């Protein structure tokens, strides 16, 4: 009888051990799978240009990636229904303004079609982000809101205590812009978690 009980306990212990090992293997597989999925959804494409221009314009590269993945999903041929082009979805009037600011308005080579070229689109997009960062004190919510709705809109919201406090937006009255700012923040958080210093 004792031998049967001991054998039964041994089998039970093996079953428990097997279940624990199986659970650990599944958890590991899920973790690796989620990590792979997230890295495919939030890649670091065009890193040569992102690294170069984020450094040149004093930007956090993960912020730049957050804008690219949100704006175009890394499609350099992307065109919005409003006519914005390329990786960072530069609008025609924004292109003209950046071209002027960079002193390239008389360069016959620098035409709007260049916004389909990854290098030039990222260069112009990084310049715009740098300008907005300086304008709004580096706050990601304010930068994202201005990228979406324009610097003038954000400036007016910041002047209204209903939407701001201490130079920061506490509420964004435009629902589309609020949603966009949330998407940028979430993408930025994912990039920092996946690729930032461990």
What is the residue-wise DSSP string for 137-187? TT-HHHHHHHHHH-HHHHHHHHT-TTTEETTEES--SSHHHHHHHHHHHHH
How far apart (Å, rounded) are the C-alpha atoms in residues 195 and 153? 33
For 50, other C-beta atoms within 10 Å of its C-beta total: 22
Instruction: For the chain, give every domain's residue range.
Output: 1-41, 47-195
Q: What is the structure's pLDDT at 26? A: 47
pLDDT at position 9 = 63
Contact 65, 44 (CB under 8 A): yes
Q: What's the first-to-final CA gap in the chain, in angstroms?
A: 56
Is this model's pTM higher than 0.85 or not?
A: no
What pLDDT, on a 0 to 100 scale, did the predictor assign at position 35?
Answer: 76
Architecture of domain 47-195: Orthogonal Bundle (1.10)
pLDDT for 36 equals 85
Structure confidence at residue 20 (pLDDT): 42
pLDDT of the residue at 24: 43
- Residue 197's pLDDT is 61
At 192, list the tokens.
Answer: 């920092």
The rounded distance, in Å, linking the Cα atoms of 51 and 137 is 22
Tens digits of pLDDT across the chain (198 residues): 555 555 566 556 556 655 644 444 444 444 446 678 899 999 999 999 999 999 999 999 999 999 999 999 999 999 999 999 999 999 999 999 999 999 999 999 999 999 999 999 999 999 999 999 999 999 999 999 999 999 999 999 999 999 999 999 999 999 999 999 999 999 999 999 999 865
């Amino acid at each position: 009888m004792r031998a049967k009980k001991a054998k039964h306990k041994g089998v039970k212990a093996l079953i428990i051990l097997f279940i624990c090992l199986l659970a650990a293997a599944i958890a590991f597989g899920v973790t690796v799978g989620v990590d792979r999925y997230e890295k495919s959804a939030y890649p670091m494409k065009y890193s040569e240009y992102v690294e170069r221009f984020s450094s040149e314009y004093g930007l956090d590269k993960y912020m730049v990636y957050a804008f690219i993945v949100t704006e175009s999903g890394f499609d350099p041929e992307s065109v919005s229904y409003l006519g914005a082009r390329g990786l960072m979805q530069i609008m025609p009037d924004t292109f003209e303004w950046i071209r002027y600011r960079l002193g390239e308005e008389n360069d016959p080579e620098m035409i709007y079609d260049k916004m389909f070229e990854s290098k030039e689109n990222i260069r112009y997009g990084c310049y715009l982000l740098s300008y907005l960062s300086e304008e709004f004190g580096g706050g990601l919510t304010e930068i994202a809101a201005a990228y979406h709705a324009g610097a003038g809109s954000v400036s007016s919201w910041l002047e209204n205590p209903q939407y701001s406090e201490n130079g920061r937006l506490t509420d964004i009255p435009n629902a589309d812009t609020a949603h966009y700012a949330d998407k940028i923040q979430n993408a930025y958080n994912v990039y920092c978690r996946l690729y930032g210093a461990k």
